[in-house]
């Protein structure tokens, strides 16, 4: 691969990471054509149109749905259509990417454009589980989830499904099946409109978290105007808040550490606020918690923020390894 000098880093990054999808789908296409069934390979970038963010790009739904609806069904009459997940293109035809687990989101995009009955995503776990089994061995599968519960879990950081996958499926009544590729006979988890009943407490861990505290510099209060400055900057930089808390004179947020977005946010707002920042943190969310679930959480030595609502418990803390490093350096 060769890239012209002077291209923005994010543009080069998107072009680079898209190659895996483009190459692997060509391999699958050739294998199926030779051994199983006739296929047609299409470039997802010609269908999924986005804004000009190269990373975590936002889909232009009107154009995208029209592209898919008008062209894909004709291809599918006589062959299996093979395309890519995770990638799209902007108005200039340049490659953009849809973010972590973006292939799930791509499946939802194509399903919406085709008015599909269901979508199946194949994973290396039995389905949606109450925790990451590699970190909590007693995690169990959740057989059924409502769109709302699944959407909340992805918002809080459940990595098995892209956060934006659920919305278009829910709006169009398309069921989502999450099933294990190493045991295709298993049913996995079905996500749909039906009420699935109360499910066991779910533990969701997000690493690489950054805690940012904005304090006013002129002894006034954090009012709506100052909050609007912060939220406007977050929107322009396409940054999602994982946790937030405010007092009379400060506003605190927890966000993912991605690329140089944190630095750009601080740069934009440093003239208006005194900004304090802690990084390399972890955030644990327990959805549907009870006392038994909270008793499973091991002690953390330094908690920065704790929040409880009726159904959700959040804990932002310095991970144990970080404490060990600090004590050894002291």
Hey, what are 40's tokens? 């047609």
Nearest residue to 101 via CA among 166, 9, 198 = 166
322 pLDDT above the threshold of 70: no
For residue range 178-195, list pLDDT tens digits in order.
Answer: 999 999 999 999 999 777
3-state secondary structure of 68: helix
CA distance 68 to 91: 16
- By percentage, how much of the chain surpasses pLDDT 70? 93
Nearest residue to 176 via CA among 189, 186, 187, 164 = 189
For residue range 46-60, list pLDDT tens digits in order.
Answer: 999 999 999 899 999
328 pLDDT above the threshold of 50: no
Hey, what are 70's tokens? 């008008």
The DSSP code for 128 is S
Hey, what are 128's tokens? 């949606």
Please give the pLDDT value at position 297. 81
The mean per-residue pLDDT over the stretch 140-153 comes to 92
8 Å CB contact between 214 and 275: yes
Name the packing angle between helices 19-35 and 9-17 (round to 10°): 20
For the chain, give percent helix, strand, coil, nearest 5: 35, 30, 40
Model pTM score: 0.83
- Residue-range domains of the chain with CATH: 1-99 (3.40.1160.10), 117-199 (3.40.1160.10), 203-329 (3.30.2130.10)
* Residue 231 CB coordination number (10 Å): 16
H or E element: which one contains 250? strand 250-256
3-state secondary structure of 121: strand
For residue range 215-270, list pLDDT tens digits in order.
Answer: 988 778 888 999 999 999 999 998 999 999 999 889 999 999 988 899 999 999 99
Residues in the chain: 330
What are φ and ψ of residue 5, in 5° steps? -65, 145
8 Å CB contact between 314 and 284: yes
The mean per-residue pLDDT over the stretch 306-319 comes to 93
For residue range 80-130, list pLDDT tens digits in order.
Answer: 999 999 999 999 999 999 987 789 999 999 999 999 999 999 999 999 999
- CA dist 97 to 52, 56, 233, 289, Å? 10, 6, 21, 35
CA distance 209 to 317: 9
CA distance 217 to 128: 45
Lowest mean pLDDT among 34-43, 84-93, 173-182: 34-43
């Amino acid at each position: 691969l060769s890239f012209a000098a002077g291209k923005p880093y994010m543009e080069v990054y998107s072009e680079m990471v898209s190659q895996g999808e483009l190459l692997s789908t060509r391999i699958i296409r050739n294998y199926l054509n030779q051994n199983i069934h006739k296929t047609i390979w299409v470039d997802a970038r010609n269908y999924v149109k986005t804004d000009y963010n190269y990373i975590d790009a936002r889909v232009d739904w009107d154009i995208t749905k029209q592209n898919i609806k008008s062209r894909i069904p004709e291809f599918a009459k006589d062959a299996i259509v093979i395309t890519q997940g995770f990638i799209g293109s902007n108005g200039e035809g340049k490659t953009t990417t849809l973010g972590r687990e973006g292939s799930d989101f791509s499946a939802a995009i194509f399903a919406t454009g085709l008015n599909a009955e269901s979508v199946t995503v194949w994973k290396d776990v039995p389905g949606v589980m109450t925790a990451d089994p590699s970190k909590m061995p007693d995690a169990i599968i959740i057989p059924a989830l409502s769109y709302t519960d699944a959407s909340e879990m992805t918002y809080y950081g459940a990595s098995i499904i892209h956060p934006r996958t659920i919305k278009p499926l829910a709006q169009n009544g398309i069921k989502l099946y999450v099933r294990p590729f190493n045991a295709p006979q298993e049913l996995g988890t079905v996500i749909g409109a039906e009420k699935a009943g109360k499910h066991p407490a779910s533990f969701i861990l997000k690493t690489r978290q950054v805690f940012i505290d904005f304090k006013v510099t002129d002894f006034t209060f954090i009012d709506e105007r100052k909050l609007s400055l912060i939220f406007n900057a977050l929107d322009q930089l396409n940054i999602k808040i994982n946790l937030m808390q405010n007092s009379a004179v400060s506003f605190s947020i927890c966000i993912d550490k991605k690329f140089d977005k944190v630095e750009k946010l601080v740069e934009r707002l440093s003239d208006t606020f005194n900004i304090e920042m802690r990084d390399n943190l972890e955030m644990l969310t327990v959805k549907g918690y009870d006392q038994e679930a909270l008793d499973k959480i091991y002690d953390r030595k330094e908690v920065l923020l704790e929040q409880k609502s009726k159904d959700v418990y959040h804990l932002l803390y310095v991970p144990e390894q970080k404490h060990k490093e600090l004590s050894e350096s002291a």
